[in-house]
């Protein structure tokens, strides 16, 4: 027992001796290293400390591209020569700034007072996208501009300027309020992030990650060598459903006009083109928009920043007659053979409600009423239905509620009811208001996207799809991260027979004598559509409704046209609204014609998209 304890004691002593020797050796090595650095390399290190410094610099992130459904790039990056200032490297800051301003337009960049409060060792961005002359001046005068440097960094490039600008959106310098919500995040003051549209909505996918490098610089701030470098991680790419060429075509047709055009694939809800005019060039924001220009944009009475396709609210006008026909047929107020006589007006009490055709249409059925857009026929239908029954079918066709395309920004529109007026206006509903509502006037308002979705459902056989503009999100190598599938949000509350009657009437609009949409005809393609003319204000005495040019511009009617084509198996559906354009048949229908003429190429585009056919396009036939 005692011998055992002796062995243990000896073992502990030996172990302690080893630890002591190790610690002495380690201490000796540290002293040796310290002597080497201070005595042998001391002079060199002191020189490095005085004349050179080590800095950690960020490397700009490479934002992902935005492509159309064909894979054509519409938004990417381009090199930009950016001017930076590092105060601690500037010998005479004020003099250098004054010298710089003689040849470089610094615009509304920070003044001297603001520059002074910026950390001396941190780079301050003074100007983005220097031109060649400015770059040459700075490079040639580097000795006199010791605190200034040029960095080549990626800048957002919107290749087709205004193309789908309100949808694609733009970048902007991060605001302090936004920065606070990203505490310990990847952003710093001066960074650009998505501020609007898809650029904002998909910021986390697009932005990528910054890189970082440690560099040795001399007293003037010039890089001597890179000590360490972590490359940036590029962002993901967003592939849209739009067809760039169709989008450009529609943009051209709407040039100089105010309004919106939406073109959908009726078989899945994919958006093929979406235009809002007037528009803007997002490239202006990529450089950092000046406060004065921003003020000019937001005060512009034509509202170029507003996406009219989802925020513009318009009376649907005679396009609403599609819903009126459905409600009348389904409720049994009319049949396919019901006729009403149109003398050019409808009398209710002491008031006459005019038809657009002053001489009247004579005896008309539902078919002729759709083809020739007879107001009196639909006054009669509305009078017998009542506003609440009309509202039920309007809602069943997708009006009065967002489509789900952009929940944060999309307007709902309005489908009026008796209860709504009592709640909103504190007034009772009047029968005369039902008459106005029957032709899409009065309190009725809808967005261009809602109207496009409505006619798409009529075209495909009764299925309401959620409009979609995102085909997929892909990594830079093409690997798909997310892919959007068609989503059904409802079915039209009509029978197959009702839909047949309506569709045949819509075909007659562009093909039969007296049709209001004859200017949308395309040889070899059957186009089904409905014109609409929406009053902005009640006609004043002395104004001739048939001579829109004589009416002040802001009081002229809006011109509408909704359509799908080809008739049997539609490849596209559309809504066209030209503000103050007059008559839908003369102003908007020709734009539809141009769109339909693109069908051969568009069909090829859809094959590349791998369009999925709907599982069921049968109207529900559900009675409301």
* Residue 438 appears among annotated catalytic residues: no
Given CA atoms 261, 265, 269, 272 in this order, what sign does their dihedral have? negative
Specify the DSSP element, H or E, that contains 237: strand 237-240
H/E element, 150: strand 148-158
Q: Please say whether the beta carbons of 469 and 167 come within 8 A.
A: yes
> Checking phi first, is residue 389 left (phi over 0); if not, alpha (psi -120 to 50) or beta?
alpha
Asked if residues 461 and 468 have their Cβ atoms less than 8 Å apart, the reply is no
CA distances from 513 to 516, 560, 567 (A): 9, 20, 18
Alpha carbon distance 140, 89 (integer Å): 18
What is the C-alpha to C-alpha distance for residues 471 and 165, in angstroms, rounded to an integer?
18
580: which 2 tokens? Answer: 């103050």
**Tokens standing for residue 136:** 């040459």
Measure the CA–CA gap between 142 and 153, rounded to whole angstroms. 20
Active-site annotation holder among 80, 149, 279, 318: 318
The CA-based dihedral angle spanning residues 352, 357, 358, 364, taken in that order and rounded to the nearest 10 degrees: -70
- 273 Cβ partners below 8 Å, 6+ apart? 242, 243, 246, 247, 249, 250, 261, 262, 263, 595
Supply the DSSP symbol for 36.
I
How far apart are the C-alpha atoms of 235 and 218, rounded to whole Å? Answer: 33
CA-wise closest residue to 161 among 251, 294, 280: 280
Degrees to nearest 5, angle at CA 315 with 310 and 320: 100
**Continuous H helices in 305-365:** 308-311, 321-330
**Catalytic residue set:** 318
């Amino acid at each position: 027992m005692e011998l055992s304890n002796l062995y243990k004691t000896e073992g502990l002593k030996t172990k302690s001796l080893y630890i002591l020797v190790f610690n002495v050796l380690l201490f000796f090595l540290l002293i040796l290293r310290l002597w080497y650095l201070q005595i042998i390399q001391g002079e060199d290190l002191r020189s490095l400390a005085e004349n050179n410094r080590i800095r950690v610099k960020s490397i700009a992130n490479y934002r992902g591209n935005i492509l159309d459904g064909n894979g054509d790039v519409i938004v990417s990056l381009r090199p930009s020569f950016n001017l930076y200032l590092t105060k601690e490297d500037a010998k005479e800051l004020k003099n250098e700034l004054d010298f710089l301003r003689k040849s470089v337009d610094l615009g509304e960049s920070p003044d001297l007072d603001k520059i002074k409060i910026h950390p001396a060792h941190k780079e301050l961005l003074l100007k983005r996208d220097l031109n060649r002359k400015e770059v040459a001046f700075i490079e040639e005068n580097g000795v006199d501009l010791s605190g200034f440097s040029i960095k080549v960094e990626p800048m957002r490039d919107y290749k087709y300027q205004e193309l789908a600008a309100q949808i694609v959106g733009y970048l902007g310098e991060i605001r302090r309020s936004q920065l606070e919500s990203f505490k310990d995040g990847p952003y710093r003051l001066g960074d650009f992030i998505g501020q609007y549209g898809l650029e904002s909505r998909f910021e986390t996918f697009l932005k990528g990650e910054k890189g970082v490098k440690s560099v040795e610089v001399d007293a003037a701030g010039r890089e001597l060598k890179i000590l360490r470098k972590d490359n940036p991680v590029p962002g993901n790419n967003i592939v849209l459903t739009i067809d760039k060429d169709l989008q450009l075509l529609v943009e051209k047709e709407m040039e100089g006009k105010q309004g919106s055009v939406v073109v959908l694939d009726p078989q899945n809800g994919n958006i093929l083109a979406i235009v809002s005019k007037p528009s803007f060039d997002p490239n202006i924001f990529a450089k950092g928009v000046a406060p004065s220009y921003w003020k000019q944009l937001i005060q512009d009475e034509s509202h170029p920043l507003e996406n009219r396709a989802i925020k513009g609210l318009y009376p649907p006008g005679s396009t609403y007659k599609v819903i009126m026909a459905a409600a009348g047929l389904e409720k049994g107020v009319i049949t396919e053979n019901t006729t009403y006589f149109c003398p050019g007006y409808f009398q209710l009490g002491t008031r006459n409600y005019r038809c657009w055709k002053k001489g009247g249409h004579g005896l008309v059925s539902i078919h002729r009423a759709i083809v020739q857009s007879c107001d009196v026929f639909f006054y009669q239908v509305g009078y017998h239905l009542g506003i609440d029954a009309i509202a039920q079918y309007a809602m069943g066709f997708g009006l009065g509620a967002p489509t789900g395309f952009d929940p944060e920004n999309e307007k709902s529109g309005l489908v009026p009811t008796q209860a709504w007026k009592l709640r909103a206006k504190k007034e009772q509903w009047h029968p005369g208001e039902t008459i106005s509502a029957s032709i899409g006037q009065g309190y009725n308002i809808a967005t261009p996207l809602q109207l496009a979705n409505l006619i798409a459902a009529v075209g495909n056989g009764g299925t309401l799809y959620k409009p979609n503009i995102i085909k997929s999100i892909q990594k830079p190598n093409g690997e798909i991260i997310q892919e959007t599938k068609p989503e059904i949000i409802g079915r039209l509350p009509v029978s197959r027979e009702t839909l047949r009657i309506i569709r045949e009437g819509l075909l007659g609009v562009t093909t039969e004598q007296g049709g209001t949409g004859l200017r949308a005809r395309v040889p070899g393609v059957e186009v089904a559509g409905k014109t609409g003319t929406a009053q902005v204000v009640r006609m004043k005495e002395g104004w001739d409704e048939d001579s829109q040019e004589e009416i002040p511009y802001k009081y002229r009617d809006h011109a509408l046209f909704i359509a799908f084509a080809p008739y049997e198996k539609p490849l596209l559906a559309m809504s066209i609204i030209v503000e103050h354009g007059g008559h839908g048949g003369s102003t908007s229908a020709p734009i539809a014609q141009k769109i339909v003429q693109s069908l051969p190429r568009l069909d090829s585009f859809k094959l590349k998209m791998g369009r999925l056919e709907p599982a069921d396009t049968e109207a529900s036939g559900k009675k409301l």
